[in-house]
Structure 1
Amino acid sequence: MGYAAIKASLVPVALLILSACATMPAETSSTDSDADIERHDGAMALLPVLDAEAGPQKNMVFSPASINLAFGLLYEGAGGETRAQLAKLLPPPEDPLGYASNKDGVEVKVANALFLDRDFRFRDSYVAATRREYGAEAVKVDFSLPAPTAKIINDWASAATNGLIPQVITPSAIADDMIAVLANALYFEGLWETKLMGRREHPFLFGDGTERPFTFVTDDFDTPYARHEGWEAIRLPYRNNRYAMDILMPAKREVMSEAPSASFIEDMKRRLDGADDVFVSVEIPQFETDYDQGLIPALKAIGLTLPFETGRANFTAMVEPGQAPVKVSDVRHVTKLQVYGEGTKAAAVTTISIVTTGARFEPRKPVPFRADRPFVMVLRDLERDAVLFIGRIADPQPFEPEVEEP
């Protein structure tokens, strides 16, 4: 095998890894169109846009699964044309709770959460639907206090990703009119079926055309291998064989200008599905990479516009009648990937920030009621309409209750 840079996709967790040091085939073909891929996994449509934004010299790693799950939370609160547009471009995933797994050396964790402003009224039906379909926990927060609210969200993200992603939002990103953050976290940790325990130093061709020494992990074993239209690919299974990493790279060792299409990647997957095992000397770089990207420009590029438009975004299934209208103000996607001799760790967090539009949202002001003068108390049985105790309190005595152990 050559020592060219790699491009790999994690299947079926759907974490796509695009290294900046690979090449594009002169031409590609596939029996399926890109539209077929997009219908199967809507967020895969973001691949060419995010790849172009990153450019050939930078890594770009995103999780279609995490994005789809986060937008599933948004879909549950959408109505009218906004809901229809989401259903067409980023349809809610089937069996969203089915991603989670912990068996035979592979753990996949999925967490969903709604961070909701304590003073804004959300429909109980929306909270119930996201809990039922996505296992989402609803957490009441105070967005008027940016620092503690950011800490609550970041602590959740860190716990959900086993510490791989400790921060997804800063206090400065919390706007005055923010009323919700919808969040998904996806964590993968898997041991290779065949560990790559050898280590070698080889030059790696980076996206800027330079070569520098790099550590590769290596071993020789039988694994699915395929060649097609100037590309070669292998499949590296994890121990339970439900998950695998497909690594695709061009046959020629040169810098890649852009990623291949989603349909070409799917075509190579099918070829690996049907490929015979071949005895391969596998050498891959041992590396980690981070990615943090706002997704609204890319989402607009694939045609998703209504959730972000003042006056057109429809989230009436999320908020109570009489509340200010709302829209999506930010979509943030953060990932981290570690590939090493024993296996892989990968994590993604997708957050969708929601703000009010039109009239500025003002938190409800409580009516002050301080019993700091003589008062009358009535302890009632409301069901029997009976008064159990009644009294006038003019000389209250200090009291500290005894705390009973649970």
Structure 2
Amino acid sequence: MEIQVPKHPSRYPSLLEPSYVMLILGVLPLLLLRLPCWAADIPEDITAEFSVRLYHQLQSTGGEDNIIFSPLSVAVALGMVELGARGATLNEIRQAVGYSHLRAGDEFSLLRNLTQAMSADETQNVVKLANSLFLQTGVHFNPDFLKLMKKYFRAEIETVDFSESAAVAEHINAWVENHTESKIRDLLSADDFSSVTRLTLVNAIYFRGSWKNQFRPENTRTFSFSKDDGSEVQTLMMYQQGDFYYGEFSDGSTEAGGVYQVLEMPYEGEDMSMMIVLPRQEVPLAALEPIIKAQLLEEWANNVKRQKVEVYLPRFKVEQRIDLRETLQELGIKNIFTKDADLSAMAGEMADGKDLFVGKAVQKAYLEVTEEGAEGAAGSGMIALTRTLVLYPQVMADHPFFFLIRNRKTGSILFMGRVMNPEVIDSNDHDFDAV
């Protein structure tokens, strides 16, 4: 996020003078997956309802596009803003995200615990969460606000000259690249900053995981992926037969085409898992999406059972940059984007913090799924699509599906999205060292 004030002819505008301030929020999640279950009582994610509402809002405007975003990243970024909010602005954020039933301020400890739990053990997977505040040189902010940012979000704090917009954009983008293994690039541009910018808050999340049960590259072959518009694209389909957590569910009507499949695949260490929700071949994903609710996510996680499953999953890559301002406004977070915003807890004692407001909110996310991340070449192994007898449940993800990545210990959702069209990855591309 970035705080700005109107241009002044001869010096940096002072927060003491009548002015407005723009705040730009950058949220940068990244997910890199090398494919790896278990049934357990899954903790309820306090922000699950907010996560699902975010997804539905993106889905309603996304047409036939892929979707990838990080609910946890958005929650952390909003938490950083909430630390500086007061009055109606504070209450609006708390209500929209789902903190109304908590004692005021408890959400900050909750977010801290969730992020620490994500990155607590890097022996199996790599999870990096980084937060940074870039402050305008010469402008004083509330030291208590800065202290709390370090306490709850471990935020790095740095001063820059936002009037040097090109240099600042390059500097912040370099910080982002450094914290996402160079997978998130060019999040912000020089046009995002000016001499009226006061503060930019940046949140970056990076995840690299290896499947507990990896796919064998020699079993990967080119298959047709049927899009919901009736067309087909060629993609590389991975295959394995193994023990996974699996369930068949029904919405009790014909809304979602009756029965649909849920497959949960864990990563090494089993704290993190990917859940795939697949409608029947003839049912478009759009028919299934309306039934997705926070309570249903928990129901899926608690009712899949371990069994042997044949899995066909495309090797895919999805990337998306989302302008969150309109999306958050549709979800009820409106005040922070207007001159009525009360972000006075951010400002120094002598400054009028009511001049601050959020000018931009963006998120850029990246997801790549491969067999194991080291070998990308397809081999000569054959996959039999037609069988006279199917001995085990078969999950054939050769048409659009919904997915989420969650922490099994905390229930928090790191990533959520859908694959409508898997990007074809060249079978001769061996450059998977970052995956």
Partner of 1:338: 368
| Length-normalised TM-score, structure 2 | 0.67
Once the two structures are superposed, the pairs formed by residues 5-404 of structure 1 within 5 Å of their partners are 40=48, 42-55=50-63, 57-90=64-97, 91=99, 92=107, 94=110, 95=113, 96-197=115-216, 198-229=219-250, 230-257=259-286, 260-261=289-290, 263-264=292-293, 266-310=295-339, 312-324=340-352, 325-342=355-372
Deviations 1:115-168 (A, max 9, x none): 111122111111100101110011111100001111111011111111110221
Q: Partner letter of residue 153 of structure 1? A: I
Q: Is the 8 A contact 2:83 2:149 kept in 1?
A: yes
Q: Is the 8 A contact 1:221 1:280 kept in 2?
A: yes
Deviations 1:32-65 (A, max 9, x none): xxxx97754534321111111111x211111000
Q: Is the 8 A contact 1:216 1:284 kept in 2?
A: yes
Distance verdict in 2 for CA 1:41–1:132, change over 3 Å: farther
SS in 2 for 1:186: strand
- Consecutive unaligned residues of structure 1, counting only runs of 5 or more, are 1-13, 18-35, 350-406
Equivalent pairs, count: 314
Partner of 2:12: none
Q: Is the 8 A contact 2:260 2:277 kept in 1?
A: yes
Counterparts of 1:252 and 1:207, CA distance in 2 = 10
Distance verdict in 2 for CA 1:115–1:284, change over 3 Å: same
Counterparts of 1:261 and 1:159, CA distance in 2 = 38
Deviations 1:13-49 (A, max 9, x none): x9999xxxxxxxxxxxxxxxxxx97754534321111
| Length-normalised TM-score, structure 1 | 0.72
Q: Is the 8 A contact 2:238 2:371 kept in 1?
A: yes
User: Cα distance, 1:252 vs. partner?
Assistant: 3.2
- Consecutive unaligned residues of structure 2, counting only runs of 5 or more, are 1-28, 33-43, 100-106, 251-258, 375-404, 406-413, 416-435
Q: Is the 8 A contact 2:134 2:158 kept in 1?
A: yes
Counterparts of 1:43 and 1:153, CA distance in 2 = 27
Counterparts of 2:79 and 2:30, CA distance in 1 = 17
Counterparts of 2:288 and 2:361, CA distance in 1 = 23
Q: Partner letter of residue 237 of structure 2? A: F
Q: Is the 8 A contact 1:192 1:343 kept in 2?
A: no
Distance verdict in 2 for CA 1:126–1:266, change over 3 Å: same
Counterparts of 1:258 and 1:113, CA distance in 2 = 40
User: Cα distance, 1:209 vs. partner?
Assistant: 2.4
Distance verdict in 2 for CA 1:281–1:188, change over 3 Å: same
Deviations 1:85-119 (A, max 9, x none): 11111244612433213434211110011111112
SS in 2 for 1:235: strand
Q: Is the 8 A contact 2:279 2:288 kept in 1?
A: no
Q: Partner letter of residue 366 of structure 2? A: K
Q: Higher mean Cα deviation, 218-227 or 208-217?
A: 208-217
Counterparts of 2:166 and 2:129, CA distance in 1 = 26
Q: Is the 8 A contact 1:75 1:83 kept in 2?
A: yes
Q: Higher mean Cα deviation, 202-211 or 151-160?
A: 202-211
SS in 2 for 1:257: helix
Distance verdict in 2 for CA 1:266–1:240, change over 3 Å: farther
Deviations 1:374-396 (A, max 9, x none): xxxxxxxxxxxxxxxxxxxxxxx
User: Cα distance, 1:176 vs. partner?
Assistant: 3.5
SS in 2 for 1:337: strand
Q: Is the 8 A contact 1:234 1:248 kept in 2?
A: yes
Q: Higher mean Cα deviation, 95-104 or 235-244?
A: 95-104
SS in 2 for 1:304: coil
User: Cα distance, 1:178 vs. partner?
Assistant: 1.4
Identity, in percent, stands at 23
SS in 2 for 1:132: helix
Counterparts of 1:79 and 1:289, CA distance in 2 = 37
SS in 1 for 2:56: helix
- Whichever of the two has the greater Rg, that structure is 1
User: Cα distance, 1:261 vs. partner?
Assistant: 4.6
User: Cα distance, 1:279 vs. partner?
Assistant: 1.2
Q: Partner letter of residue 269 of structure 2? A: N
Q: Partner letter of residue 321 of structure 2? A: D
Counterparts of 2:49 and 2:80, CA distance in 1 = 16
SS in 2 for 1:131: helix
Counterparts of 1:339 and 1:54, CA distance in 2 = 22
Q: Is the 8 A contact 1:246 1:269 kept in 2?
A: no
